[in-house]
Every structure is written in C-alpha cells, then in structure tokens.
Amino acid sequence: MSDIYPVNPDIAAKAHADNEKYLEMYKQSVDNPEEFWGEHGKRIDWFKPYTKVKNSSFDGDVDIRWFEDGTTNVAYNCLDRHLEKRGDQVAIIWEGDDPSESENITYKDLHQRVNKLANAMKAQGVGKGDRVTLYMPMIPEAAVAMLACARIGAIHAIVFGGFSPDALADRIKGSGSKMVITADEGLRGGRKVPLKANADLAMDREGVESCIVVKRTGGDIDMKDGRDVWYDEVTAAASADCPAEEMNAEDPLFILYTSGSTGMPKGVQHCTGGYLVYAAMTHEYIFDYHEGDVYWCTADVGWVTGHSYIVYGPLANGATTLMFEGVPNYPTVSRFWEVCDKHKVNIFYTAPTAIRSLMREGKEPVEKCSLDTLRVLGSVGEPINPEAWNWYNEVVGKGNCPIVDTWWQTETGGILISPLPGATALKPGSATRPFFGVEPQLVDNDGNVLEGATDGNLCMTTSWPGMMRTCYGDHERFKQTYFSTYAGKYFTGDGARRDEDGYYWITGRVDDVINVSGHRMGTAEVESALVAHAKVAEAAVVGAPHDLKGQGIYVYVTLNAGEEPSDELKKELVKWVRQEIGPIASPDWLQWSPGLPKTRSGKIMRRILRKIAEDDFDALGDTSTLADPGVVDELIENRQNRQ
C-alpha cells in the first residue's frame, strides 16, 4: 500500500476543479471531445473562429488537425489581447544569475519589444514559414525572440545553450534555418558560456545568412560583416508597430529537436492553435493558476517545458511568469528559496534532479527562507522518488502545498498525466490521472490491451489538441516512430503501471532512450559520437542508476587494435563526447571492454550490459545465445559501478 495524501479542502474550495468537477469534465472530454474542446478552444482569441474542432486519425497516414479552419496568432494571444486589462501588469520577472540583477517586464513593455524585434527580423528578410534557430541564454530576449517569430509566422527552433557547435549545426541544417538569434555569452553559476563563438562554428559550417546577437556579458566576440548584427541596434531602429500575422490553427509554431532510440534527433513540430489552447488550459488547471499569482518554472527555454510552461501557457493566461538565468546552487544552495521569497512565488515547478541535489544540502538552506507564499509545487522530467517527494512536500511545501507530478514529453506539447491540486489525492511517485481529453492505454509487447491494475507499455488512443503534428520534413519517420509499434495508437516509449485506483506510475523508458537529469539522451547518439573517435572500434551505451541524475551514462568502449587503455584516454574520450554533443552527454562511467556481448548474428545484447551497469549481474538472464559467453565474466569483473 502506498501513502495517500488527501486533497486539502481549503485548496479544493478555491481551485478551478475539485474532484467532482474533474470527473465530470474528464467524462465530457472523452465522451464528447467535439463539444468539450469546441468550448475550451474559445479560451484563446481567434481572428476567424473555427467551425471544425477535431479531425484526427492515428491510422494510415496519421493526420492530426484541431480547429482546422480557425485562424489566430500566438503572440497576439500572449500579448495584445492582454494590453487593455493588464498592460501594466508584470508579464516576465527576470532573475539574473547574479542575485543583484533582476528586471520586471510589463505586458506593454514586452509587446513593444516583441514588435520591434519582429520588424527587425522582417527587415532581414525573415517571413511566414521561415525557420529561425534560437541559441540563447535564459534572458528576456529569449522569450522576446520566440514571440517575435510567432508574431510574423516564422517557425522557431530553439537549441539548448549547452549543446555543442556540431549539435547546433545539425539542428540548423535539419530545420533549414536562415537566421540564428544568439547572445555574445551566456552566464550560469558565475561561468560564461561561449554562445556566439559556438554559433560561429555552426553558422560557418551551414552558411547561415543572418544572425542577431544580444549583448549579455559584453565579452569579446567576432561579428561577421554582412551576417551578424547587434540586437540593440536593429531593434532601436525598428518600429514598435508590427501587425500579428494571421495564422491557420495548423500552421507550425515551432520545431524542437529531441532524442529518440535511433538516428539523429527528430524535429518535433508543434502547431499554432491546438498547442496554445492546450498549453494554456493545462497551465491553468494543473497548477491551479489564478489571477495575480506569481508562477515560476525553473526549466530552460531550450526544452519543451520552457516553451509550454515558461512562455506560451502562462503568457496566454495573462500570468506573471518568472524566468531564471542561473542555477540552483549559485551563489549558495539557498538560491531557489531566496528567489521564491524575493518575488513572492506562489507556484513553483522544478525537476526531481534539482530536488535531489538540494535535498543533499539538508533543511537549513531552505529553512532560512520563509517560503510562505508557496501554494502549489510541481515536478517534471523523470519519475520522482518517494524520498525526494517527501522532502519536497515537508521541507519546501511545509506539508501545505499539493505536489503535481506532471508526466509528459516533448512530443505531447503539454502535460498529459498529472494531479490537479484541488481534485486529486496524491500518492508520492505517481503522476496519477489523465488530463481532460487524454486517453491512456496500457498494452503488452504484442499490443494486447491490458485492463485494470497492471504493468504495460503506455500508449494514447486518441489525439489531444497540443500533440505534435509531424517530424519536421519527415512524416514517414513520425508514423514509424510513434504509430507503428502498436498500430493505430501513439506509443510514448514509456512503461507504466496502473494501480487499483486507476493511477498511473511511470516506470521509465522501454526503448534505448535514457533520462539524465530529466534530459533525454539517445544511447545511439552517444555511441556514434564515441565511434567517431579515431581510437575507438566499438561502443555501447546504457543508462545506470545515478543518485543525483536519476540515470547516468554508462559506456563500454572497445579500442582499435594496438590502442592501449589509460586514464588519460578515458578523460580524452569523455571530453570528446562533451565536444561532439555537449556537456549533458558526458559519460559518468567508462569501462574498457575488449569484447561486447553479442548474439551469434552480431547484435549487441544491451539487456546484459544494462544489468552489469546496474551492478545487478545475478539477474543477467539467459546468456546461452551469446557468441562468446566468456566476455560477460570479464565485463562483470571490471565493472565501474560497484555498490
């Protein structure tokens, strides 16, 4: 039996939905999606109202459309429509890496900045349908750039600032971006990140036409004549009046690259209308957002969480959203809590990996702050272990703040499974129940539908407005990746358990994707980076339990004949992967393996490598099909991850 935390009646009384309301709305949303979303689609403003609501099929060619004959504009909905009522309200509270730096940006001010950048981009030849890559630190200009793209109908593709020049170049190429927006340098935890220098390497490789550069640190960088311009200069010269382009509901809003089990990361493509309706509605109900609340999501805009729950959802709702440039432990491990007090944060949304790392520092750094404005806490990115959940609940939330453990993916655009603060009794570690319109299903490996309390592969049987529409430029891959494993269903790649109360417990990826500090990493990507090194013959990468990161990256490397393993070479290979992909792909353990366990047909048996990396080699299972069972003993003998 797991612990249950009943809903706090005071919270239920004021919440957008108590349990009864949740059940009623959920039922309506699945019994009659047309009516339900036809009504809730009106939460955003439409230039031309839709007459059709849902038109989607997970069979055949997989075609997903919502509100398909409606037109609107995302920037208009996040800015213009709020001006009359809340022009002087703060839209973005920006908190710098250095605690002495912060800024409040009102809706009026944000609207002006977006219009100016939008005009500056137009002047550089960017228009509707063009792709623009953003490689930005967490500064207000990142949100301004996203909204400026949305305003003129350009499609942004954000690349997280921790990615390498090569990874950036691959994404510029994949999206066919003609413009890059970046900053001279980023600033995180007192350290500089050479964004423009990295972008230069990538832009040179891809022949990018134009680049707008924000001055953040004033660091010394190269500006290439005819290509690079300063943000301050081009926006100062631009008019603050830029009409919002009329976009069809299904026109793309952004592309975001994410790792899968094979090949190059996929360009997940999200649309305009359904995405915004879903981001805004989930933000309101799941965080129980109310007028006047200060809301803080600690993610980076380089990930989907930053798209949906720092920028689009909150701004569509007219919220005050906090954007934080720094890291949880700089200058001290109280930083998160100091920021909560400084800006009177009511809703706080972070990742289990951050909670675990702060939990290690004990209660004192939290308890010296008051945290009395907090009302709702959120978690995202990976399963939250009960120990971290309890600490979050007791030490941060003082037992008074419901924790919403939100399960979703880059592909889903918004949260699919989560408690609602006023409706759902909580069980630590469970993402609990589906949001409105979401119909999860568990299936076995043969695709048989499983009923009742059971374990299985997590699928969705029908579309919701915020889901991805295709892989950019590769619809075949979209179909293949998500709809071919179990025909007619969207397969999430996650395993899950459903308990006797119908609550979902996400058990983790069932494919070759690992989750490192809430960031998704394809093992194949790390492998291909390793084998690109001149001394490496073969590499296999698996995830292994890691105290802070959830999963760490465990690599097995076979060197070319004549190469000798050494600590120096180990360091060189770790550095190599960081350079090839970025610091988030740094191997945590590296084991030299003269041989890898393979079947007689030459297929690497990852199941065995995973078990060895987990230090769980008593459960290796059947090794009799191996070409050379002897390699297993050798690998166990030299494993790196001894408990």
Binding site for CoA: which residues? 188-191, 305, 329, 517, 578
Phi, psi of 407, deg, nearest 5: -100, 130
Residue 162 C-beta: closest distance to ligand WT7, Å: 13
Residue 458 or 609: the one with the smaller Cβ distance to ligand WT7 is: 458
Pair 164, 193: CB distance under 8 Å: no
Q: Least Å distance between CB 612 and ligand WT7? A: 23
State how far the Cα of 140 lies from the Cα of 94, in Å rounded to an integer. 7
Choice between 115 and 432, CB closer to ligand WT7: 432
DSSP helix/strand/coil, 221: coil
In this chain, which stretch among 50-58, 379-387, 465-473, 571-579 interacts with ligand WT7, using CB under 6 A?
A: 379-387
Beta strands in 77-219 (DSSP E): 90-95, 102-106, 131-135, 155-158, 179-183, 186-188, 191-193, 210-214
Does position 405 interact with ligand WT7 (CB under 6 A)? The reply is yes
- Closer CB to ligand WT7, 106 or 298, in the complex: 298
Q: In this chain, which of 153, 302, 313, 381 binds ligand WT7, going by CB under 6 A?
A: 381
Buried b (16+ CB within 10 A) or exposed e, 80-109: bbbeeebeebbbbbbbbbeeeebeebbbbb
| Biggest CA-to-CA distance, the chain | 74
Stretch that binds ligand WT7, among 67-75, 201-209, 297-305, 538-546 (CB under 6 A): 297-305
Q: Which residue is nearest to ligand WT7 (CB)?
A: 410
With b for 16 or more beta-carbon neighbours within 10 A and e for fewer, the 177-188 pattern comes to bbbbbbbbbbbb
Asked if 305 touches ligand WT7 (CB under 6 A), the answer is: yes
Joined tokens for residue 47: 């230039």
Q: Is 115 in the site for ligand WT7 (CB under 6 A)?
A: no
Q: Specify the residue, 284 or 494, whose C-beta has the smaller distance to ligand WT7.
A: 494
Minimum distance between the CB of residue 457 and ligand WT7, rounded to whole angstroms?
12
Distance CA 574, CA 515 (A): 18
Residue 363 corresponds to which tokens in the numbers above?
């209660």
* One residue of 95, 382, 512, 588 binding ligand WT7 per CB under 6 A: 382
Phi, psi of 369 (to 5 degrees): -105, 160
Binds ligand WT7 (CB under 6 A): choice among 133, 164, 175, 258: 258
Task: Confirm or reject binding of residue 511 to ligand WT7 (CB under 6 A).
Answer: no
431 binds ligand WT7 (CB under 6 A): yes
Closest by CA position to 374, among listed 322, 329, 423: 322
| Beta pairing class for 454-460 and 440-443 | antiparallel
Beta strands in 29-185 (DSSP E): 54-57, 63-66, 71-72, 90-95, 102-106, 131-135, 155-158, 179-183
Residues in the chain: 643
Nearer to ligand WT7, 140 or 419 (CB): 419
Per CB under 6 A, 76 contacts ligand WT7: no
406 binds ligand WT7 (CB under 6 A): yes
Binding residue positions for ATP = 381-383, 405-410, 494, 509, 520
Considering beta carbons, is residue 148 or 516 the nearer one to ligand WT7?
Answer: 516
- Answer yes or no whether residue 380 interacts with ligand WT7 by CB under 6 A: yes
- Residue 479's CB is within 10 A of a number of other CB atoms, namely 16
Does 525 engage in binding with ligand WT7 (CB under 6 A)?
no
Select 252 or 260, whichever has its Cβ closest to ligand WT7. 260
> CB of 363 within 8 A of CB of 393?
no
Q: Which is nearer to ligand WT7, 38 or 508 (CB)?
A: 508
Amino acid at 550: G
CB of 526 to ligand WT7, least distance (A): 15
Backbone angles phi, psi at 539, to 5 degrees: -145, 145
Q: Which two tokens stand for residue 155?
A: 């499609």
304 binds ligand WT7 (CB under 6 A): yes
The reply to whether 171 sits near ligand WT7 by the rule CB under 6 A is: no
* Selected range binding ligand WT7 among 320-328, 334-342, 374-382, 592-600, rule: CB under 6 A: 374-382
182 binds ligand WT7 (CB under 6 A): no
How many residues sit close enough to ligand WT7 to count as binding (CB under 6 A)? 24
Question: Distances in Å between the alpha carbon of 164 and those of 170, 299, 327, 569, 635?
Answer: 10, 19, 20, 21, 31
Q: Using the rule CB under 6 A, which residue among 408, 464, 504, 576 binds ligand WT7?
A: 408
Q: Least Å distance between CB 583 and ligand WT7?
A: 16
Number of Cβ atoms within 10 Å of the Cβ of 190 = 11
Q: How does DSSP classify residue 165?
A: H
Cα–Cα distance measured from residue 504 to residue 493, given in angstroms and rounded to the nearest whole number: 15
Nearest to 171, CA basis, from 184, 155, 189, 159: 159
The strand pairing partners of 391, in sequence order, are none
By the 8 A CB rule, do 557 and 573 touch?
yes
517 binds ligand WT7 (CB under 6 A): no
Identified binder of ligand WT7 from the candidate list 77, 272, 393, 515, rule CB under 6 A? 515
One residue of 80, 185, 284, 494 binding ligand WT7 per CB under 6 A: 494
- By the rule CB under 6 A, 410 interacts with ligand WT7: yes
- List residues binding ligand WT7 (CB under 6 A): 258, 303-305, 380-383, 405-410, 431, 492-494, 506, 508-509, 515, 518, 520
